[in-house]
């Protein structure tokens, strides 16, 4: 495997290392506290609404909108041995900004008849949805973070959904690869939501492996189906654990599904065993090859049954799919452990130069202590170390008004200060991360480490 040496330069340990906590084969051992219930992973109990917010620095006047973030917040007392980070009710944390003023912060549980969507919160066709994979129904959210009783996508969704639909900014269509093994063990679905917010098509794709399809990617012509090395596990399900497990037997592969056709035929490309929660982006080059950048794990959900961070780190990796030849190559682009990649919100499926992500630190002490900006043209990265006691979350890119350059805009993320046990919302100039945040909105409580969110302009 070739490496682009100029991307590599971190002193962080990326391989080996002792785990932060000891595991037995069935979750945390003995009377140990589950790490995903400690520190800033622990849920918050209070649901707060306040318009008394201290701001340090100056929020750019052009910013008006709602910053939303979803994540699991188990309200009952979970079993430490069996608890997995990916489980628990969804809780939204939101900050409303109007013309450079922070109007309010609030946090609210996502209310649902069934499983509370805990993974992402998106806006599409003038509606906001809290979403999750594995058959959970999207829940519509209003601008005040209340859960609505409406049926998702105007009552047109007949299947489960995904935590990671991809928006084609040219058409306004949203594409999602969805699995729901409780109801269909043999197929996944390619769901397309039209720009009017209604499901346009649901196309079954046979997938006998029952793999965990957390994300997809789109290009001009394809939806990418990631059939990787983590499979649904009846063994774990029957014993009350999070029911997905590493598999050495399954052939990992990337599939290309023609997103414009009626056929559910997938052109498969076998790859080395790995797992990917998050794609950075995919696009087609001038020769029609498909380029996929993603955060690749060598192995996980094998010995650690409680979460993703103790087995191998995720690192930025590129696959190039030669569609004509049916061949694929893989190249590790960096060795710094990263997660939660984001790009310009209108570039999914198109060439992108920049990617933004959270640096998760070494295996022995995952700390979320840095924000990384990748320049995939110059093959360089810019890493902002946040300093002792400070830990960020997924950084969301917001394009500037009248944007000229791809990275002209802002990066927003919640920032946790361990010394205060509180969080803030920080706003960076995405072209000048080194100068630090242009503004921090201090929040009255901590925002637990969670998953994904969106900036809803307006
Ligand atoms: Fe995710």
Mean pLDDT for all residues in the chain = 93
The pLDDT value given to residue 2: 39
The pLDDT value given to residue 362: 82
What would the pLDDT profile of 106-128 be if each residue is shown by its tens digit? Answer: 999 999 988 899 999 999 999 99
Kindly give the distance from the C-alpha atom of residue 340 to the centroid of ligand 1, in angstroms, as a whole number. 7
Kindly give the distance from the C-alpha atom of residue 273 to the centroid of ligand 1, in angstroms, as a whole number. 20
pLDDT beyond 80 at 14 = no
What would the pLDDT profile of 235-264 be if each residue is shown by its tens digit? Answer: 999 999 999 999 999 999 999 999 987 788
Give the chain's domain count: 1
pLDDT beyond 60 at 302 = yes
Q: What is the DSSP letter of 137?
A: P
pLDDT beyond 60 at 24 = no
The pLDDT value given to residue 17: 30
Tell the burial category of 140 from Cβ atoms under 10 Å away from its Cβ (0-12, 13-18, 19+).
middle
Q: How far apart are CA 251 and CA 232, in angstroms?
A: 15
Bridge pairing between strands 101-109 and 90-98 = antiparallel
Share of the chain above pLDDT 90, in %: 89
Question: Could you give phi then psi for residue 2, rounded to 5 degrees?
Answer: -85, 150
The pLDDT value given to residue 25: 55
pLDDT beyond 50 at 405 = yes
For residue 435, the enclosing domain spans 5-457
The answer to whether the beta carbons of residues 370 and 383 sit under 8 Å apart is yes
Kindly give the distance from the C-alpha atom of residue 296 to the centroid of ligand 1, in angstroms, as a whole number. 13
Kindly give the distance from the C-alpha atom of residue 190 to the centroid of ligand 1, in angstroms, as a whole number. 17
Kindly give the distance from the C-alpha atom of residue 50 to the centroid of ligand 1, in angstroms, as a whole number. 29
State the sign of the Cα–Cα–Cα–Cα dihedral 391, 115, 199, 204: positive
Kindly give the distance from the C-alpha atom of residue 180 to the centroid of ligand 1, in angstroms, as a whole number. 16
Q: How far apart are CA 435 and CA 411, in angstroms?
A: 13
Q: How far apart are CA 12 and CA 331, in angstroms?
A: 20
Distance of CA 428 to the CA centre of its chain: 20
List CB contacts of 354: < 8 A, sequence separation 6 or more. 343, 344, 373, 374, 375, 376, 397, 406, 407, 430
What would the pLDDT profile of 364-392 be if each residue is shown by its tens digit? Answer: 677 999 999 999 999 999 999 999 999 99
Q: What is the pTM of this model?
A: 0.94
* CATH label of the domain that carries residue 399: 2.130.10
Distance of CA 307 to the CA centre of its chain: 15
Q: Nearest 5°: CA angle at 455, between 374 and 427?
A: 60
Kindly give the distance from the C-alpha atom of residue 53 to the centroid of ligand 1, in angstroms, as a whole number. 29
Q: How far apart are CA 122 and CA 113, in angstroms?
A: 20
| Partners of 456 in the β-ladder | 66
Q: How far apart are CA 226 and CA 183, in angstroms?
A: 20
Identify the three-state secondary structure at position 243. Answer: coil
Kindly give the distance from the C-alpha atom of residue 119 to the centroid of ligand 1, in angstroms, as a whole number. 7
Q: How far apart are CA 137 and CA 115, in angstroms?
A: 8
Q: How far apart are CA 280 and CA 233, in angstroms?
A: 27
Q: Which residue has the tokens 């990917």?
A: 276
């Amino acid at each position: 495997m070739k490496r682009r040496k100029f991307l590599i330069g971190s002193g962080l340990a990326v391989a080996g290392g002792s785990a932060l906590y000891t595991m037995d084969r069935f979750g945390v051992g003995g009377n140990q506290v589950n790490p995903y219930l400690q520190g800033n992973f622990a849920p918050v109990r209070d649901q707060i609404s306040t318009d008394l917010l201290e701001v340090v620095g100056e929020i750019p006047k052009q910013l008006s909108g709602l910053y939303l973030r979803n994540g699991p917040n188990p309200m009952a007392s979970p079993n430490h041995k069996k608890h997995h980070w990916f489980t628990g009710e969804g809780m939204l944390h939101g900050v409303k900004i109007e013309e450079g003023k922070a109007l309010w912060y609030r946090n609210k549980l996502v209310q649902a008849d069934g499983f509370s969507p805990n993974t992402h919160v998106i806006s599409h066709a003038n509606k906001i949805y809290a979403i999750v994979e594995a058959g959970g129904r999207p829940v519509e959210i209003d601008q005040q973070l209340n859960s609505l009783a409406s049926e998702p996508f105007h009552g047109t969704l007949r299947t489960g959904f995904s935590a990671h639909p991809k928006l084609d900014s040219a058409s306004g269509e949203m594409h999602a690869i969805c699995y729901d093994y409780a109801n269909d063990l043999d197929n996944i679905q390619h769901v397309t939501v039209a720009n009017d917010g209604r499901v346009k098509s649901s196309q079954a794709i046979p997938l006998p492996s029952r793999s965990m399809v957390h994300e997809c990617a789109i290009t001009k012509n394809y939806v990418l189906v990631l059939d990787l090395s983590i499979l649904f596990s009846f063994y774990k399900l029957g014993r009350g654990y999070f029911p997905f497990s590493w598999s050495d037997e399954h052939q990992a592969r990337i599939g290309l599904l023609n997103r414009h056709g009626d056929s559910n035929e997938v052109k498969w490309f076998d790859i080395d065993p790995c797992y990917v929660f998050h794609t950075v982006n995919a696009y087609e080059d001038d020769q029609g090859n498909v380029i996929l950048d993603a955060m690749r794990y060598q192995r996980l959900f094998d010995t650690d049954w409680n979460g993703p961070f103790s087995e191998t780190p995720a690192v930025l990796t590129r696959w190039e799919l030669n569609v004509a030849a049916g061949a694929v190559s893989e190249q590790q682009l960096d060795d710094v452990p990263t997660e939660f990649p984001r790009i310009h919100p209108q570039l999914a499926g198109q060439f992108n130069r920049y990617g933004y992500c959270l640096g998760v630190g070494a295996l022995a002490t995952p700390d979320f202590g840095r924000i990384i900006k990748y320049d995939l043209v110059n093959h360089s990265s810019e890493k902002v170390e946040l300093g002792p006691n400070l830990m960020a979350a997924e950084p969301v890119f917001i394009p500037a008004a009248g944007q000229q350059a791809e990275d002209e805009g802002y990066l927003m993320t919640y920032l946790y200060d361990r010394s205060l046990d509180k969080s803030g919302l920080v706003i960076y100039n995405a072209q000048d991360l080194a100068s630090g945040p242009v503004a921090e909105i201090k929040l009255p409580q901590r925002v637990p480490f969670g998953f994904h969110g969106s900036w809803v302009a307006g």
